[in-house]
Amino acid sequence: MEEECLVQVEENKQVIFRGFIEGTPKETDLQVMVGKKIELKAPPKGSGAFLVKNLYLSCDPYMRGRMRDFHDSYLPPFLPGQPLQGFGVSKVVDSDNPNFKPGDFISGITGWEEYSLIPTTELSRKIKPDDIPLSYHVGLLGMPGFTAYAGFYEVCSPKKGESVLVSAASGAVGQLVGQLAKLHGCYVVGSCGSSQKVDLLRNKLGFDEAFNYKEEPDLGAALKRYFPQGIDIYFDNVGGDMLDAALVNMKIHGRIAVCGMVSEKNLSDPQGIRNVYNLITKRIRMQGFLQSDYIHLFPRFLEHVISYYKQGKIVYIEDMNEGLESAPSAFVGLFLGENVGKQVIRVAHE
């Protein structure tokens, strides 16, 4: 009894998922509120669970898929009335698990709230102390970075000298795809949605060329301009019109890695892709993928990318929002292209 009296009790601010949506997420689909008070201790012995204080939360486009009442997917829907879930970086507060001790930093699936009880270790990874910013573990060194790595090397079959198009190129995935492609000896062009991003791609991220798709009345003509000989590899983060335009500009035996479809405004009635017949005449391989299928490569990915980063061969751009209160606008901004770089929410300072 005495021990329990020492347990700290905190209010636990949360970002609640209000209910299933259609179309593009709106800020009102989420609600920031103070949830039930939470005791800052792990559950009773034998549970293996641990309690964390969340430091950084990751805003990722795939999360929209969990906002629909659609169960035939690789991830279950969010629960209305409960906090969102997603990748985050957290600090262990208390633990019934010998592998996760108080003070440890971890990266993995957590709740959109100040404190989360993590019931299982399957989706958590302990972060080795390093001089890399902790938040990078939901970006460059997390799921988006690994998506770029697995997608580029395992799906795109890149060869030195090939021409590579990356869409949503300054985003969490795209910025690393482009830099890996440059390191591989490719010619790399990025598409993005603002002149600020064009500037970043050209001057910070080392892309050969970049363009603002919103300023191109004819995307096919834009691609023809940047790829007069055609595109070998299209790393597709957006689907929609850009995919259609890329299909007609691919080279023979081109490859398209289909990674994301952030442009599909409403997944229940996405716009059709009209130029699929190019797959035949150009013998294109178009492949969807999820990073989770390549998870055996994760240690190699970490080693390579950390090494590149420490050598200054790659950089990473984050868009950091401050506080859980900013979570709804940060999340919704993803689908409006408002983020510049990887969108992260800082919940608390380390």
Q: What is the Cα 203 distance to its own chain's centre?
A: 23
Give the N- to C-terminal CA distance of the chain in Å, as an integer.
31
Which residue in the set 36, 46, 74, 217 belongs to the binding site for its own copies (CB under 8 A)? 74
Q: Is 79 in the site for its own copies (CB under 8 A)?
A: no
Binding mask 237-256 for its own copies (x = CB under 8 A): --x---x--------x----
- Check binding of 287 to its own copies (CB under 8 A): yes
The yes or no reply on residue 229 touching its own copies (CB under 8 A) is no
Q: How far is CA 343 from the centre of its chain?
A: 8
Stretch that binds its own copies, among 117-125, 163-171, 191-199, 259-267 (CB under 8 A): 259-267
286 interacts with its own copies by CB under 8 A: yes
Evaluate whether 256 touches 279 at the Cβ level (below 8 Å).
no
Q: Among 21, 40, 258, 320, which residue interacts with its own copies (rule: CB under 8 A)?
A: 258
What is the C-alpha to C-alpha distance for residues 21 and 105, in angstroms, rounded to an integer? 34
C-alpha distances in angstroms, 7 versus 10, 173, 208? 10, 41, 56
Residue 278 is a binding residue for its own copies (CB under 8 A): yes
**Which of 39, 96, 208, 264 lies at the binding interface for its own copies (CB under 8 A)?**
264
Residue 122's contacts (CB-CB under 8 Å, 6 or more residues apart) are: none
Cβ(61)–Cβ(30) below 8 Å = no
Residue 200 CA to residue 192 CA, distance in Å, equals 10
Shortest reach from residue 288's CB to its own copies, in Å: 3
Out of 144, 178, 260, 333, point to the residue binding its own copies (CB under 8 A). Answer: 260
CB of 258 to its own copies, least distance (A): 5
3-state SS assignment for residue 268: coil
Contact 77, 20 (CB under 8 A): yes
The number of residues that bind its own copies (CB under 8 A) is 35
**Which residue in 26, 101, 214, 283 binds its own copies (CB under 8 A)?**
283
- Per the document, the length of the chain is 350
Closest CA to 291 of 318, 260, 327: 260
Q: How far is the CB of 217 from its own copies (least distance, A)?
A: 19
Residues 254, 232 contacting (CB under 8 angstroms): yes
Among 46, 98, 272, 312, binds its own copies (CB under 8 A): 272
- Indicate whether 311 belongs to the interface with its own copies (CB under 8 A): no
| Residues between 203 and 222 that touch its own copies (CB under 8 A) | none
Residues within window 41-70 making contact with its own copies, judged by CB under 8 A: 65
Q: Which residues contact its own copies by CB under 8 A? A: 65, 73-74, 239, 243, 252, 258-261, 264, 267, 269-290, 293
